[in-house]
Chain A
């Protein structure tokens, strides 16, 4: 039997201490995936699981143009917050495009940020080659059945996808993630929170052992900014994105004066599309501009048989979301 200790502390400091003190301890966090990976798939091991469910990290407060969202706030609660619908509607759209209502009632914002990849080669410990699971062992997905896999930030070392919908508008917004460790609190931009797969795909975030996400700080879009989230998938609901895009635009007299764009379904991390933003800003809001932005962003994809179609699909997804948000004609 895989025996482990289960602890459910009531305060953040106690939880942080419990995990920090023990290299074999882990938070019972990161959505449902932690238990699956530990108990069902046998992919990760922990001798102590610290349940953070009772920590006082729930709730949304507004401070001027910033929303402070506790890490244990549910997806459903954030989607129901009126100011989210008013000032960052693409966050609400992304929340509602993710998972299912039952899951959104339980799933938390912190858990969403830390959900692990769905790559079936990572999740099946009978597969030998997985650099994310066993550093240096190779990548079976590259020559396997790859479709729900990344084309940006990917390499022959790892093509595991970050599958979150919510994180796509969050990286577009420059959300900051607040972390608590034994040394106190620090915050990092979400765009820097995730590490490129690069040489060490097993290291996914800047989190140090024992560090806990306590909240995210979400800047609201300026009034008048339009935003939208588009998710493309075979199944009409309850499927991860093949491609997705979150866009926020201000169009003034036909010219784009503000542009934020991020992509999902294509990156090893939630993909902020800065190259596209550079093309968009100051350019006329038309389909030619949108296509140019898409071409600028999807310049150097890494594809394998099975993911090649995502190159064109991602570009078309960008064009469509920009067209929709800008209210431009096809």
Chain B
């Protein structure tokens, strides 16, 4: 039942964040803000070798240091079951199972004390003796174990080798991208508290339901005896998609001490404890006809991974679906190294793969002496290439057109080194983006109370991107209520099941569940008045009824209706509640559900003598279907674009070649863009509501980072004539 309709506008009202006042006032409780009476504080000790074994841990001095309550090492850690399998693979390796060290910075002890300062001071007193072995490091290291066909993601259609052999123009280049670290501003924290056998955990997670499942499994509890809270999190960018060992240790410490325990990672520990974007190497071979028709694409990607870990890094996944090309093969490889395990970082895989493919197409366009947009349009995938099914929506052509207009692409002199301003060479570059669709089951519950307010909830998360706001806004719209009459709660595993904030899927899943719950709730109100002689809506079909201004009324005649409060009052009900649940399946839909599409246009300035590169402006045209809130959506894209500039110009997690120690694990050494690096960013939304999604939306959480790097590198080529296939593009690469 779905009697309610959503606003037909493409762009939802740019309302301010509903949680803005809390955040501005410093009143939003992030996990690191949580405190309980009697709470103890933990500090982590990390290994100072890259591989080997612990011979001995001398924790005597730490144990006798002021305020210290316990020191946990592998020696006094009880056997714990492994965490569960998730869609991102088996749970991360738990480092306290034995005395083996598999990467520099592996946790080797947790010191718990009365105060955080005492814990940190005592942690320095823990002395570990190691028997080191030579760590396996370096993505091209021939001694490193190499996994082929990672996650079974290799794919082939057509005859790639044959088409490459016969193509008039062929292309074969290698791309490298440095590892990066997510670095959400909010330091990841865990606060664990046992209450009579029940476990309450405040955790920096993007997925409370997964966190609950992990804790229930590891500590052998029923899921209803575990409750995970994360009403606010200071960003995540994928770092909160897996359940980290330090959180398990904190729960264990709380159990051992029978009192609440808190740990907050330090910034350096953020580099080794919760994942990073892996290093990648990609080889791209393309065959093309003189007229620009793509004949073959062979895309081979290699990414790094922890020596005993798993990580889903689908670098080549969008490649077969991005262009109309009969012969496409993809190869996913993973190199096992003694490094902290990588993990998802905004647009995992896709972001790196796009850099290679969209740089390569620019190079091909130059070889063919054709316009880069024309080349892309010539190979436009009108239908999904793999299946031949129509897309649920696709406005990539409009992205190219509108983006080019706003940018002034037509004014560009395509000759390299043709534009200059004093010592600065100027270049224009562009890239296209095809982002994969992803969605997961989601539930939501909505109640309307006698005072005319609505309470909606789901165990979702808001990474700071606007889940609270769009869910409140959508619920208000669906139920015909003013915004201030609606409250939405999330970040609590006791609420109805929600998927992770990940894969750009949450807004789609959650909006579908809210849409259905709202429909069911209106149905429940109509059921309540089905035989109610006092109701003007008695016996009405849901199809005839809609809601606005706090009233249910006939679609055709708004004067015939009554308020929610009237109905509840008359029936002596405090509230009515309904659930919604979605489990979207692409199979049998007769169409291919589409993710977002985008075109990026960038102007760069390069001081060639000094190797200095600055981004002068970025224009982004995005098809993400209907936009629930133009302000939060735009902010998502702006933030992701800044992150893309960081990836392109600055960010690289550097591992010491001998040990795998992260050599730049501070914000003084790991550079992210500052305001001065961020130029005018123009974002425009194009397209139409998506046909597959119940409310017409597509995900927008990640697409904003994709394509930035290729557009910048292509602009650098236009400016200088130099093709940089290695990120970040630092000064030494341009000298």
- Which residues of A pack against B, CB within 8 Å? 1-2, 42, 118, 120, 124, 126-127, 140, 143-145, 148, 232-239, 242, 309, 312-313, 316-317, 319-320, 330
Q: In the complex where A236-B677, A239-B671, A309-B732 touch, is A316 in contact with B609 (Cβ < 8 A)?
A: yes
Q: In the complex where A239-B671, A313-B731 touch, is A145 in contact with B654 (Cβ < 8 A)?
A: yes
Contact bitstring B632-676, A, C-beta under 8 A = 1, else 0? 000000000000000001100011111001011010110101111
Mind listing 8 A-B residue pairs with CB under 8 Å?
Answer: A1-B67, A145-B654, A235-B677, A236-B614, A237-B677, A309-B735, A313-B610, A313-B731
Whether the pair A235, B650 counts as a contact (CB closer than 8 A) is yes
Whether the pair A232, B731 counts as a contact (CB closer than 8 A) is yes
Whether the pair B731, A235 counts as a contact (CB closer than 8 A) is no
Q: How far is the CA of A236 from the CA of B650 in the complex (A)?
A: 10
Whether the pair B674, A238 counts as a contact (CB closer than 8 A) is yes
In order of increasing CB-CB distance, the 7 nearest A-B pairs are A236-B676, A309-B732, A145-B663, A237-B676, A145-B654, A1-B121, A126-B48
Residues on A with C-beta less than 8 A from B731 are 232-234, 242, 309, 313
Whether the pair A1, B48 counts as a contact (CB closer than 8 A) is no
Residues on B with C-beta less than 8 A from A312 are 735
B612 CB-CB contact with A under 8 Å: yes
Q: How far is the CA of A317 from the CA of B610 in the complex (A)?
A: 7
Q: How far is the CB of B121 from chain A (nearest CB, A)?
A: 4
- A1-B118, A145-B664 provided; 19 other pairs, C-beta below 8 A? A118-B668, A120-B663, A120-B664, A127-B661, A144-B656, A145-B655, A145-B663, A232-B611, A233-B612, A234-B612, A234-B613, A234-B730, A235-B649, A235-B671, A236-B674, A237-B674, A237-B676, A238-B676, A309-B611
Q: In the complex where A145-B664, A309-B732 touch, is A235 in contact with B673 (Cβ < 8 A)?
A: yes
Contact bitstring B124-168, A, C-beta under 8 A = 1, else 0? 100000000000000000000000000000000000000000000
Residues on A with C-beta less than 8 A from B388 are none
Q: How would you classify the secondary structure of chain A's contact residues: helix, strand, loop or mixed?
A: loop
Whether the pair A1, B732 counts as a contact (CB closer than 8 A) is no
Q: How far is the CA of A177 from the CA of B701 in the complex (A)?
A: 54
Residues on B with C-beta less than 8 A from A120 are 663-664, 666, 669
Q: In the complex where A1-B121, A144-B663 touch, is A234 in contact with B649 (Cβ < 8 A)?
A: yes
B117 CB-CB contact with A under 8 Å: yes
Q: How far is the CA of A2 from the CA of B119 in the complex (A)?
A: 11
- CB-contacts of B594-653 with A (<8 A): 609-614, 649-650
Nearest residue (CB) in A for B667 is: A238
- CB-contacts of B392-427 with A (<8 A): 423
Residues on A with C-beta less than 8 A from B121 are 1-2
Whether the pair A234, B674 counts as a contact (CB closer than 8 A) is no
Most chain A CB within 10 A, of B614, B654, B656, B730, is at: B656
B528 CB-CB contact with A under 8 Å: no
Residues on A with C-beta less than 8 A from B676 are 235-238
Residues on B with C-beta less than 8 A from A118 are 668-669
B65 CB-CB contact with A under 8 Å: yes
Q: How far is the CA of A238 from the CA of B675 in the complex (A)?
A: 10
Q: How far is the CA of A143 from the CA of B118 in the complex (A)?
A: 35
Q: How far is the CA of A320 from the CA of B607 in the complex (A)?
A: 11
Q: How far is the CA of A313 from the CA of B66 in the complex (A)?
A: 52
Q: How far is the CA of A143 from the CA of B669 in the complex (A)?
A: 18
Nearest residue (CB) in B for A324 is: B423
Q: How far is the CA of A234 from the CA of B730 in the complex (A)?
A: 6
Q: How far is the CA of A62 from the CA of B676 in the complex (A)?
A: 35
Q: How far is the CA of A235 from the CA of B651 in the complex (A)?
A: 10
Whether the pair A234, B650 counts as a contact (CB closer than 8 A) is yes
Residues on B with C-beta less than 8 A from A140 are 656
Q: How far is the CA of A70 from the CA of B158 in the complex (A)?
A: 76
Residues on A with C-beta less than 8 A from B657 are 143-145
Whether the pair B671, A313 counts as a contact (CB closer than 8 A) is no
